[in-house]
Chains A and B, each alone.
Chain A
Amino acid sequence: MLDRRPAVSWFEIHSENYFADGGPPLATLERIRADYPVAMHGVGLSLGSTDPLDREHLRKLKRLADRVDPALVSEHLCWSSVDGRHFNDLLPLPYNEDALDHVCARVSAVQDHLGRTIAVENVSSYYAFPESTVPEYAFVAAVAARTGAKLLVDVNNIYVNARNHGIDPAAYLAAIAPASVAEIHLAGFDASGPIVIDTHGAPVAPEVWSLYERAIARFGPVPTLIEWDTDIPAFDVLLREAATAQRVLDEHAIVAA
């Protein structure tokens, strides 16, 4: 990969995969960082958990951010642990005032600790709490508005949740302030069962590409990442997917004077 010097504009890493004290992954990352911008994308901070923030996890996140000087640090709007037990998965939040207060306090605490603005990502979900009182998109937009955090808008997750919970994807996009959007994710899903599952193991679906075009029309040419981390295909297949996203971005790019 490094020897090919692919013509991509940036790389994104799973933060936790570089939490080690040393070793080859960190050395490879430093080689990449010398030539490309890098974004850090965490999956394990358990931002929405009501357990105390994991100080050791935060310490390693900050150590990595200080080392990499990333273009962006992002985490998921979800929770993963309760009463000290971790599920290592992106579990759904209820969307109500109680949860909003809690999540906003946590986002602010993390931003204070890291000394930087983070981005939070909307997650795909299969379960909707009956205790939710506001639509998911209102919750997501409110977190950004209250904390100053940026949003990592996962367009596939919007589509998956629209299918699973009957959300209007157009209303979702309309609720999000364009200025808050720092990055976009795209991915493939599996709709073979009763629930649409976000697998990151398939090409981006045509419906998601068209939702992506609407997102870019509203948000502008936002840096976009295709997530494909199970059943990973040949690198050329990934590059073709990325090229499709680039075409959409180019169509909406502001031409410099």
Chain B
Amino acid sequence: MRSSLPELQRRFAAALLDGAGEDARIGAYRNTVTANYRNALGATYRVVRELTGGPFFDTAVDAFAASHPSTGGDLNVYGGELAEFLASYPYARELAYLPDVARLEWALDEAHRAADPSGTPASTLAALAAIPGPEVATQRFALDPSCRFLHSPHPVMRIWQVHQPDHEGDRQVDLRAGGDHLLIRREDATPVIERLPAGDYAFLVSLAAGADLSAALEAALNADATFDLGTALRTHIASGVIMAVAH
């Protein structure tokens, strides 16, 4: 009986993945597919690739692609689970900071393609001023859609910085320098990383999760007893991180 189209596509896919009974013509496709994932993730995770070296990275990507196959036709959004994969990748165990560097690079990638902000500092301040006093504590806020947050016990911002092409000077990183509370966002078309005080970090993460002002304040004070609400609101509204009051 003649094979149906689904059967033919399954057979081709199995041969592409398998490599046994090698047909050079299907091998040509395997080479392209393998190279596509290595190139795509190598572009997204440029610093991870530099930290591990190209051959190590490519081998890791091959294993990642096998265990986390792509499920969509847009390669730009493939590979977000690489950090989790690296955290349990036995050959990367000695690079304890590697998964968080991957998380940072993915956050930068997401920030790059996030929706554009819809509010301005002036519109946010005006909206805030219009809220009746008793209701301020239960007010929720919308953050700039490009905001991502990363807390790491490792100095990942410094690691990332010294691996930038335009970095000049000392490339030493003191791995015991302490951790980072990072805000990653897109500012004027450029993804930026900002190190936040622990209180501000807890405050913004709470707001991003939909907490109201009083709950976010409590989280901030738990992280840092010296947290000052007025300063934080002014700072993060002026920068556009807090983009609007939520309705």
A contact residues vs B (CB 8 Å cutoff): 16-17, 19-25, 27, 42-46, 49-50, 54, 56-57, 60, 79-89, 91-92, 94, 98-99, 102, 126-129, 131, 194-195, 197
Minimum Cβ distance to chain A for residue B118 (Å): 10
Give CA–CA (A44, B13) in the complex, Å.
16
Residues of A within 8 A of B70 (CB): 85-88
Minimum Cβ distance to chain A for residue B185 (Å): 12
Question: Given A19-B76, A91-B29, A126-B25, is A24 in contact with B36 using a C-beta cutoff of 8 Å?
Answer: no
Q: Which residue of B lies closest to A230 (CB)?
A: B39
Segment of B1-9, B217-225, B230-238 in the binding face: B1-9
Besides the known contacts A129-B8, A195-B28, 14 further A-B residue pairs in the complex with CB atoms under 8 A apart: A16-B75, A16-B76, A22-B145, A24-B189, A25-B113, A57-B74, A80-B73, A83-B13, A85-B71, A89-B36, A94-B8, A126-B26, A127-B25, A131-B8
Give CA–CA (A50, B78) in the complex, Å.
22
Is the beta-carbon distance between A23 and B186 smaller than 8 angstroms? yes
Contact with A along B2-24 (1 / 0, CB 8 A): 11111011101100100000011
Question: Given A50-B6, A87-B33, is A22 in contact with B74 using a C-beta cutoff of 8 Å?
Answer: no
B contact residues vs A (CB 8 Å cutoff): 2-6, 8-10, 12-13, 16, 23-26, 28-29, 32-33, 36-37, 40, 69-78, 112-116, 145-146, 186, 189
Residues of B within 8 A of A82 (CB): 6, 9-10, 12-13
Question: Given A21-B115, A24-B112, A57-B72, is A89 in contact with B32 using a C-beta cutoff of 8 Å?
Answer: yes
Question: Given A23-B112, A98-B5, is A44 in contact with B28 using a C-beta cutoff of 8 Å?
Answer: no
Is the beta-carbon distance between B189 and A27 smaller than 8 angstroms? yes
Question: Given A50-B9, A85-B71, is A197 in contact with B28 using a C-beta cutoff of 8 Å?
Answer: yes
Residues of B within 8 A of A56 (CB): 72
Give CA–CA (A20, B9) in the complex, Å.
30
Q: Which residue of B lies closest to A27 (CB)?
A: B189
Residues of A within 8 A of B73 (CB): 16, 42-46, 54, 57, 80-81, 86, 88
Residues of B within 8 A of A60 (CB): 74
Residues of B within 8 A of A92 (CB): 12
Residues of A within 8 A of B2 (CB): 98, 131
Partner of B69, one of A86, A99, A126, A195: A86
